[in-house]
Amino acid sequence: MLLYNGQLLFEEDFALTLPNRGLFFNDGFFETLVWAEAGIRYLPHHFTRLQRAADALGLLLPPELATAESLTQTLHKLVAETQKPQSNAAYRIRLQVWRGGGGLYAPDTTACNWLATSRPFHSNDTPVLAAGFAETVRTHFSPVSFCKGPNSLTYVLAARERTQRSLDELLLLDAAGHVAESVAAAVFWISEGHLYTPALTTGCVAGVRRAHLLAVARQHQVPVAEVLALPTALEAAEVVFTANVAGIRVVQQLATTALAPEHLLLMQLRAWEAQLN
């Protein structure tokens, strides 16, 4: 089952109508959410980014998505149709939002269409055995670089390079050579008791797990810095890890540098997060 503009449909009965500005011009964005234990994980961070993306693109969210509460109720409608009775299974939900109407580049409406699909969720906390720095693509800061969707080709090309180089993960750099993010996750590192992550001005996505980890760290008085850092900063770090809604993955080898497989502060961050979930 899927939800299209609030209507439950079987996948085989769904078809996109044309014109479609999402298909033609990538005029939209998406969110990847995890439904677990009767709710959306990291809901405040998801809704903040959802609303910010809509504002950046000049889209008016429909009532079903307009508040955190209505978003939860809407996606529960999909989960309830998918979930087996007495099941507490978690689901990975993709919410795609795109502008309605037609035309060429200039839009003629603020109205949007939306589609929600779900699949069983599988966490991924496995270590990154081998990571490298991207050589074929760079991130670029823009009014929409914080959200998911407008710059998807960058990550498609990065994922392709990762496969071609037989790496477990690839770290992207911005145009000035600063570390930005991985293919589909935020990047963090720990040095001398401080938690570091790339600044949003690198053009990285404003990940919800990124926002949550920063909030948890600050709540426990851990010094936090969002920085412009060269690859050498990570190679000299005590530990490096990636984080997204699927999990936290420790990087054990970065280019030619072997890194620590664990760190006390990271263990504490995991424990503090678990208390909030």
* pLDDT tens digits, one per residue of 72-119: 999 999 999 987 765 778 999 999 999 999 999 999 999 999 999 999
On whether residue 125 sits in a domain, the answer given is no
Q: Are residues 181 and 76 in the same domain?
A: no
On whether residue 222 sits in a domain, the answer given is yes
Q: Are residues 188 and 107 in the same domain?
A: no
Residue 277 pLDDT > 70? no
Cβ atoms of 159 and 172 closer than 8 Å: no
DSSP string computed for 51-66: HHHHHHHT----GGGS
Amino acid at 37: E
Give the model's confidence band at 37: pLDDT under 50 very low, under 70 low, under 90 confident, else very high. Answer: confident
Domain boundary, last residue among 120, 147, 181: 120
Q: Are residues 78 and 144 in the same domain?
A: no
Q: Are residues 178 and 101 in the same domain?
A: no
At 83 the pLDDT is: 75
Angle of CA points 116, 157, 206, to nearest 5°: 55
Phi, psi of 118, deg, nearest 5 = -135, 150
| Pair of tokens at residue 168 | 């477990």
* pLDDT tens digits, one per residue of 56-69: 999 999 999 999 99
On whether residue 185 sits in a domain, the answer given is yes
Domain boundary, last residue among 92, 120, 148: 120
Q: pTM for this one?
A: 0.95
Q: What is the mean pLDDT of residues 232-254?
A: 98
Give the model's confidence band at 219: pLDDT under 50 very low, under 70 low, under 90 confident, else very high. Answer: very high
Q: Are residues 192 and 154 in the same domain?
A: yes
Domain of residue 78 covers: 2-120
Q: Are residues 192 and 259 in the same domain?
A: yes
On whether residue 221 sits in a domain, the answer given is yes
Q: Are residues 48 and 154 in the same domain?
A: no
Rg (CA), the chain: 19
**For the chain, how many structural domains are there in total?**
2
